[in-house]
Chain A
Amino acid sequence: MRNHILRRLLQLIPILLVITFLSFAMMRLAGSDAVLQKMENTGMVVSQEVVDAARAELGLDRPFLVQYGVWLARLLRGDMGTSYISGQEVLPAFLSRLPATLLLAAVSILLTILFSIPLGILAAVRQNRFTDYLIRLASFVGNSLPNFFVALLLLYLFAIRLGWFPVLSREVTLQNVMLPASTLAIAMSAKYTRQVRAAVLEELGKDYVAGAKARGVPFRVTLVKSVLRSCLATILTLLTLSVGSLLGGTAVVESIFLWDGVGKLAVDAIQMRDYPIIQAYVMWMAIIYVCVNLVTDLSYRALDPRIRLGGGQR
Chain B
Amino acid sequence: MRDGVSRRRQRGRRNHIRCRLLVFLLLAALLLLAVIFAEELCPYDPNAQIFQPLQPPGGGHIAGTDRLGRDLFSRILVGLRTSVFSTLALVAVIAAAGTAVGVLSGYCGGLLDGWMMRVSDVCLAFPGLVFALAIAALLGGGIQNAVIALAVISWPKYARLARGQTMAIKSSDYVAAARLAGDTAPQIILRHILPNSTGPILITAVLDIGTMMMELAGLSFLGLGATPPTAELGSMMSDGRSMLQTYPWVVLGPGIAIFVAVAVFNLLGDTVRDCLDPRNSHRT
Q: Tell me the A residues contacting B by CB distance below 8 Å.
A: 11, 14-15, 18-19, 22-23, 26-27, 29-31, 128, 136-137, 140-141, 143-149, 152-153, 156, 187, 190-191, 194-195, 198-199, 202, 205-207, 233-234, 237-238, 241, 244, 248, 266-267, 270, 278, 281-282, 285-286, 288-290, 293, 296, 300, 304, 306-307, 309-310, 313-314
23 A-B interface contacts by CB (under 8 A): A11-B118, A15-B118, A19-B125, A23-B130, A136-B267, A140-B210, A140-B263, A143-B210, A146-B217, A147-B214, A152-B241, A156-B245, A187-B211, A191-B204, A202-B199, A234-B164, A234-B165, A270-B133, A285-B127, A289-B124, A289-B125, A290-B121, A307-B167
With A23-B127, A144-B259, A306-B168 known, 16 other A-B pairs at CB within 8 A are: A11-B118, A27-B130, A141-B259, A143-B210, A143-B211, A144-B255, A152-B241, A195-B203, A199-B200, A234-B161, A234-B200, A237-B160, A244-B125, A306-B171, A309-B171, A314-B109
Q: Is B21 an interface residue (CB 8 A)?
A: no
- Tell me, rounded to whole Å, the shortest Cβ–Cβ distance linking A124 to chain B: 12
- Tell me, rounded to whole Å, the shortest Cβ–Cβ distance linking B173 to chain A: 9
Q: Cβ of B279: which chain A residues have Cβ within 8 Å of it? A: 205-206
Q: Cβ of B127: which chain A residues have Cβ within 8 Å of it? A: 23, 248, 266, 270, 278, 281-282, 285
Q: Cβ of A286: which chain B residues have Cβ within 8 Å of it? A: 121-122, 125
* A15 and B122 contact, CB distance less than 8 A: yes
- Tell me, rounded to whole Å, the shortest Cβ–Cβ distance linking B45 to chain A: 27
* A144 and B262 contact, CB distance less than 8 A: yes
- Tell me, rounded to whole Å, the shortest Cβ–Cβ distance linking A73 to chain B: 22
- Tell me, rounded to whole Å, the shortest Cβ–Cβ distance linking B31 to chain A: 14
Q: Cβ of B244: which chain A residues have Cβ within 8 Å of it? A: 149, 152-153, 156
Q: Cβ of B258: which chain A residues have Cβ within 8 Å of it? A: 144
* A306 and B172 contact, CB distance less than 8 A: yes
User: Is chain A's interface secondary structure helix, strand, loop, or mixed overall?
Assistant: helix
User: Is chain B's interface secondary structure helix, strand, loop, or mixed overall?
Assistant: helix
* A30 and B137 contact, CB distance less than 8 A: yes
* B238 and A148 contact, CB distance less than 8 A: yes
- Tell me, rounded to whole Å, the shortest Cβ–Cβ distance linking B160 to chain A: 6
- Tell me, rounded to whole Å, the shortest Cβ–Cβ distance linking A187 to chain B: 8
Determine the residue in chain A with the shortest Cβ distance to B267: A136
Q: Cβ of A147: which chain B residues have Cβ within 8 Å of it? A: 214
Q: Is B90 an interface residue (CB 8 A)?
A: no
Distance of A88 Cα from B234 Cα, bound (Å): 36
Determine the residue in chain B with the shortest Cβ distance to A18: B122
Distance of A266 Cα from B133 Cα, bound (Å): 14
Q: Cβ of A23: which chain B residues have Cβ within 8 Å of it? A: 126-127, 130
* B133 and A282 contact, CB distance less than 8 A: no
Q: Cβ of B186: which chain A residues have Cβ within 8 Å of it? A: none
Determine the residue in chain B with the shortest Cβ distance to A308: B171
* B238 and A146 contact, CB distance less than 8 A: yes
Given A282-B127, A286-B122, A30 and B204 touching (CB < 8 A)? no
- Tell me, rounded to whole Å, the shortest Cβ–Cβ distance linking A249 to chain B: 10
Contact partner, B199, options A141, A146, A198, Cβ 8 Å: A198
Q: Is B72 an interface residue (CB 8 A)?
A: no
* B126 and A19 contact, CB distance less than 8 A: yes
* A285 and B126 contact, CB distance less than 8 A: yes
* B266 and A140 contact, CB distance less than 8 A: yes
Given A31-B137, A289-B124, A143 and B262 touching (CB < 8 A)? yes
- Tell me, rounded to whole Å, the shortest Cβ–Cβ distance linking A177 to chain B: 23
* A140 and B259 contact, CB distance less than 8 A: yes
* A137 and B263 contact, CB distance less than 8 A: yes
* A145 and B200 contact, CB distance less than 8 A: no
Given A233-B164, A285-B127, A149 and B255 touching (CB < 8 A)? yes
Contact partner, A282, options B126, B165, B259, Cβ 8 Å: B126
- Tell me, rounded to whole Å, the shortest Cβ–Cβ distance linking B159 to chain A: 11
Given A140-B263, A145-B255, A146-B214, A19 and B168 touching (CB < 8 A)? no
* A293 and B121 contact, CB distance less than 8 A: yes
- Tell me, rounded to whole Å, the shortest Cβ–Cβ distance linking A267 to chain B: 6
CB-contacts of B249-284 with A (<8 A) = 251, 255, 258-259, 261-263, 266-267, 270, 273, 277, 279
Q: Is B129 an interface residue (CB 8 A)?
A: yes
A-contact bits for B153-171, CB 8 A (1 contact / 0 none): 0000100110011011011
- Tell me, rounded to whole Å, the shortest Cβ–Cβ distance linking A166 to chain B: 18
Given A30-B134, A234-B164, A288 and B125 touching (CB < 8 A)? yes
